Amino acid sequence: MPSVVGLLEQHELAARRRVEGLREEADRIQAELAAAEEEWQEWAIARRRVGTVLAPDGGSIAVEEVVPGTVAGATSRQAARARSQVPVWREGLAWSVLSADYQRILGALADRDRLHQGPLTCQELAVLFGLDAVPAKVEALRSKAKRLVARGWLAEGQPGRFTLTAGVAGPGGGS
C-alpha cells in the first residue's frame, strides 16, 4: 500500500501537469489572439485609408502630428478606444487617452497614493472593483496592470504590487 506522502506527490504531479498544459494552451490562445487583433487593426487601417482617398474632398493630404501609440489620422482618444491601446506615458498626457478599464485602475491607485496606503495587488483591485476574485478576473486585471507598467503609467516595486509611476497624476492631466 502506497504511503500518504506518495499519494500526495502523485496528486501534486498531476495537478502541476494540468496547470502546465493549461498555461501552454493559454499562451497559444494569447498568441493567436494577438495575431487576430493585428490583422483586424490592419483591415481597419485599410478601410480608413480607402475612405480618406474616396472622401468628397478628394482625399487631400494634411500634415498631422502622430502621437506615439496612436494610428495616424485618429485622435489619441479614438485610437485608445479602438483596441484599448495604451500609449507610452509622457509628461502632459491625460488619462482620457486610455479606455475606461485602464482609467479605473489608475483611479484606484491614485486614491491609494493620495491616502498614503501603498501599492495594490490585482486581487485587491478585483475586490475593490466588486469583481469576484477568481483567477480569470484577477489575471485580466494583471494583464492590464502589466501593460500599464510596460508603458510607464504604473510601477511594480515588488512583484505583483502596483503603484502609480512618479509623475502620473489625476485624470485631468498626465503630470
- Cite the beta strand spans of 71-175 per DSSP E: 154-158, 161-164
Q: Is residue 139 part of a domain?
A: yes
pLDDT digits (tens, 9 = 90+) for 16-32: 999 999 999 998 998 88
Place of cell 493567436: 32
| Domain span holding position 132 | 92-164
Residue 63, φ and ψ in degrees, nearest 5: -80, 130
Q: What is the pLDDT of residue 20?
A: 93
* Buried-state track 33-57, b at ≥16 Cβ within 10 A, e below 16: eeeeeeeeeeeeeeeeeeeeeeeee
Check: CB of residue 138 under 8 Å from CB of residue 122: yes
pLDDT tier for residue 119 given thresholds of 50, 70 and 90? very high
Q: Is residue 142 part of a domain?
A: yes
- Cite the beta strand spans of the chain per DSSP E: 154-158, 161-164
Q: Is residue 59 part of a domain?
A: no
Q: Is residue 172 part of a domain?
A: no
Q: Is residue 37 part of a domain?
A: no
By three-state DSSP, how is residue 38 classified? helix
pLDDT tier for residue 72 given thresholds of 50, 70 and 90? very low
Give the total number of structural domains in the chain: 1
Q: Is residue 174 part of a domain?
A: no
pLDDT tier for residue 58 given thresholds of 50, 70 and 90? low
Range in 61-65, 107-111, 113-117 with the lowest mean pLDDT = 61-65
Q: Is residue 39 part of a domain?
A: no
Q: Is residue 108 part of a domain?
A: yes
Which contacts of 106-109 are long-range, i.e. CB under 8 A and separated by 24 or more positions? 106/148, 106/153, 106/154, 106/164, 106/168, 106/171, 107/171, 109/154, 109/162, 109/163, 109/164
d(CA 130, CA 108): 12
CATH number at residue 136: 1.10.10
Strand partners, 158: 161
Q: Residue count of the chain, please give it.
A: 175
